[in-house]
Structure 1
Amino acid sequence: MSSINKLFRNRISFPEDEVISFEKLDRILELTAKTIPFENLAIMNKRNKEITKEYLIEKILINNEGGVCYEINTMLYFFLLENSFNVELVRGRSYNIGAKSWSQAGRTHIIILLTHDGEKYVVDTGFGVNLPVKPVPLNGEVTSSSNGDFRISKVDSEDGDCLMELKLKYRDEDWVSGYIFDSTHYLKDETELNEVQQIIVENPYSPFNKSLLVTRLIDKGNLVLTETSFTQRIGGREYKEEIDGEKFNQLVKQHFGL
């Protein structure tokens, strides 16, 4: 068993000797979403390094940190490759629900595209709390999970041909846009990942170089920690408290293991 395969399974508490079929991906995705935080601590603390397989192993699987999409999804991509899945990485442009506009930082969302029995699916565990925790087919069928409903619509855009839409449980009454991505342009190597990282780290429109953010899914909800607040959403109820820097450091260790 390779170091990635063993370390990833250990990180998410999945048995080392269990063969992972397509049907078991739901469990893998849910464990990943509840174990590996979506967080930008390395970016904000200027600790980010060149994106390589070795760096991601060290950061996520050895040091037990989290990351943003180009880190978490790329790590999952390597893990799925080693478990004989047909996967590729693609880029997308995210929709800012609060601003009601597409990200001016460009196509900075990294997504896994998985092919199984002739059908293509999005596999995404790097989109904050907006995670399907199941593979979502590109054929438009609605995928329902513990976190809400998700579907992919065909579009004609300069940013791609597919639109991820979602209705998060306890949040959305109607479908909202998640991101547009290009299902025909696969990343060839780590160069594009580092281009995306540079944008996220340096671009003034990047949402992840302004303030600290740490999130992860939990049973029946999610946790969102910022520099000024800690929000727990559990079973449709929201508990929010204002915090300071000292409290942040306490909570990031207590609830996220960072």
Structure 2
Amino acid sequence: MNVEAYLKRIKYSQKVKPDLATLNGLVQAQLSALPFENLDQQMGVKVSTAVNRVYEKVVIGNRGGWCFELNGLLGWALKEIGFDVTMLAAHVGSDKPEMNEANDHMLLLVNCGGSLLVDVGFGGGPIEPIPLRPITLSQRPYKISISKEGDGFYRYAERAGGNEGSYWFTLTEVDTDYFDGANHRLQSDPNSPFRRTLTAQRRLKNKHIVLRGLVKKTIDETGTKTELLSDEKELVECLLIDFNLDVPGISTYWPTIRLRHQELFGT
């Protein structure tokens, strides 16, 4: 593994050093180049949290991934460059979790002129690092907030297009192995959202492109544009054009993807 290949993969050509300008640039470059996606989970291909396996898949294999892969890869690259990085665990959902409730999301805390929340694996909102304090800010088209909720919990929330996503986290440091259980469960449990529906997401400046099932949504400051994919050819083309994912083999799974979409969304 080498940082130069990672930087080439995310199309980042500036000189890197452990400062805020580099951190901002890397976050935005990775979000643009490496989509959040669960194609392997749809095709029954095992996904690993080990950073060397993630590197092979994402950097060498020109793929994206989910939070354990995308934040794990960025965390490795930041440490190689010289950043002070702490890996944290979060529980996704609108309600505050119990203290012993299982976590299912990876995020990063970067000490760079202060404590900054960095997350390139949630699919949507934070296109820039966020100060770790109670705050509400605009990262268009999203409104983003962090709040302190007692018992050591922070809550991250993002809102755009009438939808909201959130997760809860503490500042307890974890390592990659911590997520092995969640990584296995989310790709093997038939009721896992990552098994039940295909998704690919790409966060660009002022815009978020989301494919969920057969529906592609483009969320920007003007609102939400929705398109329905009609066949496997459109699926392959959408993944290639909108998400830079050249995975023609996904067309084989079109009947299953369509059935799962109908079971979830009814159309």
Decide which structure has greater helix share.
2
| Counterpart in the other structure of 1:164 | 156
Partner of 1:133: 127
- Counterpart pick for 2:115 among 117, 120, 123: 120
State the TM-score, normalizing by the size of structure 2.
0.81
Amino acid at match of 1:33: L
Tell me the amino acid that sits aligned with residue 92 of structure 2.
S
Q: Residues 131-188 of structure 1: CA distance to partner in whole angstroms, max 9, x if unpaired? A: 211111222133433343323211235xx511112343x546xxx56110121x2113
CA contact (8 A) 2:211 2:217 kept: yes
Corresponding residue for residue 110 of structure 1: 106
2:54 corresponds to which of 33, 53, 56: 56
Question: Quick one: which amino acid aligns to residue 251 of structure 1?
Answer: C
Give the structure 2 partner of residue 187 of structure 1: 174
CA drift at 1:82: 0.7
Residue 136 of structure 2: aligned partner: 142
Q: Given that residues 89 and 110 in structure 1 are in contact (C-alpha distance below 8 angstroms), is that contact kept between their aligned partners in structure 2? A: yes
Which stretch has the larger CA shift, 87-96 or 232-241?
232-241
Q: Which amino acid aligns with 1:197?
A: N
Q: Distance in 2 between matches of 1:49 and 1:166?
A: 27
Q: Is the 8 A contact 2:18 2:112 kept in 1?
A: no
**Secondary structure in structure 2 of the residue aligned to 1:197:** helix
CA distance in 1, matches of 2:216, 2:136: 32
Alignment of 1:68-107 (within 5 A): 68-95=66-93, 106-107=102-103
Is 1:5 paired with 2:15?
Answer: no
Q: 2: distance between equivalents of 1:241 and 1:78?
A: 36
The Cα RMSD (Å) is 2.4
The normalised TM-score by structure 1 is 0.84
Q: 1:93 to 1:221 in 2, by over 3 A?
A: same
| 1:152 and 2:146 aligned | yes
Code of the residue aligned with 1:120 in structure 2: it is S
1:73–1:147 CA distance, 2 compared to 1 (3 A): farther
Question: Using the alignment, how far apart are the partners of 2:136 and 2:21 within structure 1?
Answer: 17
Could you say which residue in structure 2 is the equivalent of 1:228? Answer: 214
Structure 2 distance, partners of 1:242, 1:14, is 33
Identity of aligned residues (%): 21
CA pair 237-145 structure 1, distance change in 2 beyond 3 A: closer
Q: Is the 8 A contact 2:41 2:47 kept in 1?
A: no
Matched residues in 2 for 1:7 and 1:52: separation?
18
Higher mean C-alpha displacement, 81-90 vs 19-28: 19-28
The range that moved more, 60-69 or 190-199, is 190-199
Structure 1, gaps ≥5 residues long: none
Q: CA distance change for structure 1 residues 85 and 178 in 2, over 3 Å: closer, same or farther?
A: same
Shift of 1:251: 1.1
Work out the number of aligned pairs and report it.
Answer: 242
Q: Which amino acid aligns with 1:93?
A: H
Change (3 A) 1:186 1:14: same
Structure-2 separation of matches of 1:203 and 1:29: 31
